[in-house]
């Protein structure tokens, strides 16, 4: 007579497989929705600029996509010259993302000078509006491109070369 198999023997095989699948699935979700898989040109939704921030990748055309990855450098390296926000990831994989505001001409933002709150795209008629972007020039870093506009402020980024002309409050 053949020996009887334990009814729990399948657990010895199935349980490790389930654990591996769950760990790999968790890593894949973080890679594709978190910042580990973020590449230059990708957009992120950042709700707060703090050490507890948990940015998520977002389609650049959505209202949630408030920043764009302009450069990805080592965690001890500096971002290129410009008005970049920074997000640092330390641990198994350490890096720094240099982030530029993801806006187009005519966009308005709330929380632009709020310190830790993430930028929020709002209608330009919204009383919460803090800034309105009047002109965006790709390929140039030169505040002179804002001349002839009502812009009172300029931010620029060296990588990719971009100049953004904006006005605080309403126009």
pLDDT band at 13 (very low <50, low <70, confident <90, very high): low
Chain position carrying tokens 């030169």: 142
Q: What residues contact residue 44 under an 8 Å CB cut-off, 6+ apart?
A: 35, 38, 55, 56, 57, 58, 65, 66, 67, 68, 69, 87, 97, 99
pLDDT band at 1 (very low <50, low <70, confident <90, very high): low
Whether residue 26 is predicted with pLDDT greater than 60 in this model: the reply is no
What pLDDT was estimated at residue 92? 79
Whether residue 64 is predicted with pLDDT greater than 60 in this model: the reply is yes
List Cα–Cα distances, 91 to 9, 23, 48, 66, in angstroms.
Answer: 37, 17, 20, 25
Q: What residues contact residue 164 under an 8 Å CB cut-off, 6+ apart?
A: 101, 103, 133, 135, 136, 137, 154, 155, 156
pLDDT band at 24 (very low <50, low <70, confident <90, very high): very low
Name the pTM for this structure: 0.76
């Amino acid at each position: 007579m053949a020996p009887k198999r334990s009814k729990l023997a399948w657990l010895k095989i199935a349980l490790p497989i389930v654990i591996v699948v769950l760990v790999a699935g968790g890593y894949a979700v973080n890679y594709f929705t978190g910042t580990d898989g973020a590449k230059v040109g990708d957009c992120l939704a950042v709700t707060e600029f703090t050490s507890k921030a948990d940015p998520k990748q977002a389609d650049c055309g959505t209202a949630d996509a408030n920043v764009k990855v302009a450069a990805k450098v080592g965690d001890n390296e500096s971002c290129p010259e410009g008005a970049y926000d920074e997000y640092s990831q330390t641990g198994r994989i350490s890096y720094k993302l240099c982030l530029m505001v993801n806006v187009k001409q005519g966009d308005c933002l709330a929380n632009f000078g709020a310190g830790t709150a993430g930028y929020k795209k709002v209608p330009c008629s919204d009383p919460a509006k803090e800034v309105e972007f009047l002109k965006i020039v790709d390929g140039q870093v030169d505040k002179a491109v804002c001349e002839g506009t009502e812009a009172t402020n300029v931010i620029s980024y060296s990588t990719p070369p971009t100049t953004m002309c904006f006005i605080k409050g309403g126009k």
